[in-house]
Amino acid sequence: MPADVPDRTEGAPEPRPFSWVPIRSLAPRHRARILRHLLGLEPHDRYLRFGYAAGDAQIEKYVESLDFERDEVFGVFNRRLELIAVAHLAYEAPQQIAGRPAMVEFGVSVSPSARGRGLGARLFERAVMHARNRRIDTLYIHALSENTAMLKIARRAGAQVERDGSESEAYLKLPPDTFATHLEQLLEQQAAEVDYRLKVNAKRFQSLLEGFAEVKAGIGARRRRTFD
């Protein structure tokens, strides 16, 4: 959560026990991995994420339309460098309130294997910090009313949730940015980059060991055939 609001500033997420999650900013080169993550969601998870039963073609179109220059897209990688959680901050949200600055819309998805680790909440906190640092007034969430996990995260942060039948809208008033929020964003980005590079090197080392094992097994098999 933002470091400068430990006393529960209005509109900011509640304080949480420290548990750092390496959240990395994503770029156009990550489209294939984002697509793989979204296509791996179960039908009901796709329904909750997009608000409709999104098929493969619709998800492909969504990923292709991501604007990494305008929006913020970030995610969490596992040790195999697979995206297990992805968040999208859309800075041209269609929903507006007359007389107020444009809002930013938040959407998130977490792979089934990564549930129960608080990744959705951590990505939400990261989204709040990004939006504050871009001087956005309000963070907006449009979700199905049955998406209780997402709405719980929004309410916990102090968002005003308005329900209209099967759909709900949440509006979170954001505090102004500070020097601390900008510093925290910079440090988190650098730490996440270091974590990613370590995972890349670990995967390369593991591949090297597996290659050696295959060569050794091949040599052993040839020796056994020779003596046979």
- Kindly report which listed range (15-19, 136-140, 220-224) carries the lowest average pLDDT score: 15-19
Q: Which residue has the tokens 């309000």?
A: 138
Rounded Cα distance between 68 and 86, Å, is 13
Rounded Cα distance between 201 and 173, Å, is 41
Exposed/middle/buried for 29, CB within 10 Å: 0-12, 13-18, 19+? exposed
Percent of the chain with pLDDT over 90: 48
Rounded Cα distance between 140 and 117, Å, is 23
CA 220 to chain centre: 46
Rounded Cα distance between 146 and 37, Å, is 22
Q: Is the pTM of this model over 0.85?
A: no
SS3 category, 172: strand
Rounded Cα distance between 120 and 73, Å, is 14
Q: For the segment 76-118, what is each residue's pLDDT rounded down to a tens digit?
A: 999 888 999 999 999 876 556 666 666 899 999 999 999 888 9
Rounded Cα distance between 4 and 198, Å, is 29
Q: Show the CA angle centred on residue 24, arms to residues 22 and 28, nearest 5°.
A: 160
